[in-house]
Amino acid sequence: MRYFMNIRYRGRLISDPEGDELSNEEAVHGHALATARDLVFGARMETIRSWFDCSFEITDEGGRTVLVMPFDEVVPASQFGSA
């Protein structure tokens, strides 16, 4: 199955014209997390001031949204916690 890694950034939707081939819908979350992690820690961009303002809105070939994932999921919640 092909999944399209569209990005929502400050209200604007940046559509993915190509998509990624993944074995099934269960693989989508892990792939989104790995991709977001590499972008957050490895890709400095002029267009995106902060990757943490981005979410993936991933759709399948039929246009159905299969996952919405804010990029701050790449940072474990405990790092923000008071403990």
In the complex, which residues of this chain contact another protein (CB under 8 A)?
5, 7, 14, 16-18, 20, 35, 38-39, 42-48
Residue 14 pairs in a beta bridge with: 7
Q: For another protein, which is the closer residue by CB, 17 or 62?
A: 17
Minimum Å distance from CB 82 to another protein? 33
Q: For another protein, which is the closer residue by CB, 23 or 78?
A: 23
Q: How far apart are CA 45 and CA 23, in angstroms?
A: 30
Of 73, 56, 60, residue with least CA distance to 22: 60
User: Half-sphere exposure of 51 toward its Cβ, with a 13 Å CA cutoff?
Assistant: 19
Minimum Å distance from CB 60 to another protein? 17
